[in-house]
Amino acid sequence: MNLPRSITWNGSQYDVPGMDELEAMVFDSVCETPDGDTVEPDHPDSWLFLLGLI
Protein backbone atom coordinates (compact mmCIF):
# COMPACT_ATOMS: atom_id res chain seq x y z
CA MET A 1 0.00 0.00 0.00
CA ASN A 2 1.32 3.41 -0.94
CA LEU A 3 0.61 5.94 1.78
CA PRO A 4 1.61 9.59 1.56
CA ARG A 5 4.60 10.69 3.62
CA SER A 6 2.64 13.59 5.07
CA ILE A 7 -0.80 15.16 5.04
CA THR A 8 -2.16 18.63 5.61
CA TRP A 9 -4.84 18.57 8.30
CA ASN A 10 -6.49 21.60 9.88
CA GLY A 11 -3.96 23.84 8.15
CA SER A 12 -0.83 22.07 9.47
CA GLN A 13 1.48 19.49 7.92
CA TYR A 14 1.87 16.11 9.68
CA ASP A 15 4.08 13.11 8.97
CA VAL A 16 2.04 9.96 8.39
CA PRO A 17 2.72 7.17 10.93
CA GLY A 18 4.47 4.05 9.72
CA MET A 19 2.63 0.82 8.98
CA ASP A 20 3.63 -0.63 12.37
CA GLU A 21 1.97 2.27 14.19
CA LEU A 22 -1.12 2.09 12.00
CA GLU A 23 -1.42 -1.67 12.58
CA ALA A 24 -1.18 -1.11 16.34
CA MET A 25 -4.05 1.38 16.11
CA VAL A 26 -6.16 -1.27 14.37
CA PHE A 27 -5.42 -3.99 16.92
CA ASP A 28 -5.75 -1.70 19.97
CA SER A 29 -9.09 -0.26 18.78
CA VAL A 30 -7.72 3.14 19.77
CA CYS A 31 -6.45 5.63 17.25
CA GLU A 32 -4.69 8.97 17.33
CA THR A 33 -5.44 12.10 15.40
CA PRO A 34 -2.56 13.92 13.71
CA ASP A 35 -2.32 16.30 16.69
CA GLY A 36 -2.18 13.44 19.21
CA ASP A 37 -5.73 13.18 20.55
CA THR A 38 -7.04 9.67 21.23
CA VAL A 39 -10.23 8.73 19.39
CA GLU A 40 -12.12 5.70 18.11
CA PRO A 41 -10.65 4.31 14.87
CA ASP A 42 -13.74 5.33 12.85
CA HIS A 43 -13.69 8.95 14.09
CA PRO A 44 -13.40 11.35 11.13
CA ASP A 45 -10.15 12.79 12.52
CA SER A 46 -8.39 9.45 13.17
CA TRP A 47 -5.36 8.53 11.12
CA LEU A 48 -7.11 5.42 9.84
CA PHE A 49 -10.08 7.45 8.61
CA LEU A 50 -7.99 10.30 7.16
CA LEU A 51 -5.86 7.83 5.19
CA GLY A 52 -8.93 6.02 3.86
CA LEU A 53 -8.05 2.76 5.61
CA ILE A 54 -11.52 2.40 7.15
- Specify the pLDDT at position 44: 96
Q: Where are the beta strands (DSSP E) in the chain?
A: 6-9, 12-15, 31-32, 38-39
Structurally, the chain folds into a number of domains equal to 1
- Specify the pLDDT at position 35: 95
- Specify the pLDDT at position 2: 87
Range of the domain at 25: 12-50
* Mean per-residue pLDDT over the chain, rounded: 94
Residue pair 35/10 in contact by the 8 Å Cβ criterion: yes
The answer to whether position 5 is within a domain reads no
DSSP 36: S
Task: Say whether pLDDT at 25 is over 80.
Answer: yes
pTM of the entire predicted model? 0.89
**pLDDT of 26-42, one tens digit each?**
898 899 999 999 999 99
Residue pair 17/47 in contact by the 8 Å Cβ criterion: yes
The answer to whether position 1 is within a domain reads no
Task: Say whether pLDDT at 1 is over 80.
Answer: no
CA-to-CA distance for 22 and 48, rounded, in angstroms? 7
